[in-house]
Amino acid sequence: MTNPKILLVEDDLPILEALKYNFEREGFEVLTATNGRDALQRARQYLPDVAILDLMIPQPDGLQVCRELRADPKTRDMRILMLTARDEEMDEVVGFSLGTDDYVRKPFKTRPLIERIKALLRRQQEDAAGDADMVSIEGIDIDRTNHIVHIDGVELILTPTEFRLLWTLARQPGRTFNRYELLDCARGEDANSTERTIDVHIRALRKKLGDRAALIETMRGVGYRFKPGKSN
């Protein structure tokens, strides 16, 4: 990707300036915002490739910004990495359920953060370069080219991570994927991810699948598989 565009949303100015400097050194085009209102305005105007979003920004907070970005057709496919200084597991769970692609706690090291952002962008490029593929199974139609899912003809709105998980599982029904395989296919290389991360995404995906939720079967102690014939 040439000069990827990144939106930094952080109300701690020393952190914001340090991140801006380091990402510009890496060749990123950097946009900044210090509150949720400006973050949403810049995201909708400039359509960055990825946003680094601090949870505790004001007017509105990071979770609300994430929610609004995912609800807007113009920005819903944007990669989002959430930053937080709070050691609250529920914040992470809520963030992933709203569509955050990655989550980093403060304090953090700049170089690993940059590599995580690059991994998100690599995954974005791979998705964009994919073949004109379609999977149709159990009334679910998955269009990989356009990133669209329909259930019985009704469009299902998924986050980018949820889409990749559903695509991976549904295109090889019956095959069991362990959590590390799913982490890699869903979000790229990320040495700091945990097995619990994929469980959060799967739980959110099942909720959206409604009466098709049971198609994603838990393989205890291993991971998950798509099992046709399991829907209600």
Phi, psi of 168 (to 5 degrees): -60, -45
Name the residue ranges covered by the structural domains of the chain.
5-128, 134-226
The pLDDT, as a whole number, for residue 191 is 41
Q: Where are the beta strands (DSSP E) in the chain?
A: 5-9, 29-33, 50-54, 79-84, 102-105, 134-137, 140-143, 148-151, 154-156, 177-178, 216-219, 223-226
CATH topology classification for 5-128: Rossmann fold (3.40.50)
The pLDDT, as a whole number, for residue 171 is 85
The pLDDT, as a whole number, for residue 86 is 66
Q: CA–CA separation, 175 vs 226, rounded Å?
A: 7
The pLDDT, as a whole number, for residue 33 is 97
Task: Find out whether the peptide bond into 107 is cis, omega within 30 degrees of 0.
Answer: yes
Q: What is the mean pLDDT of each run of 10 residues along the chain (232 residues)?
A: 88 96 96 97 96 94 92 90 73 68 84 85 64 79 88 92 89 83 63 67 94 93 83 56
The pLDDT, as a whole number, for residue 197 is 79
Phi, psi of 6 (to 5 degrees): -125, 140
Query: 138-152 in b/e burial notation, b at 16+ Cβ within 10 A?
Result: bebbbbbeebebebe
The pLDDT, as a whole number, for residue 190 is 43
Amino acid (one-letter) located at 210: G
* Residues 24 and 110: beta-carbon distance below 8 Å: no
Cα angle 47, 111, 160; round to 5 = 40
Residue 80, CA distances (Å) to 65, 98, 159 in order: 10, 10, 10
* Residues 202 and 216: beta-carbon distance below 8 Å: yes
Residue entry with tokens 């299902």? 156
Q: CA–CA separation, 8 vs 21, rounded Å?
A: 11
> Architecture of domain 134-226 in CATH?
Orthogonal Bundle (1.10)
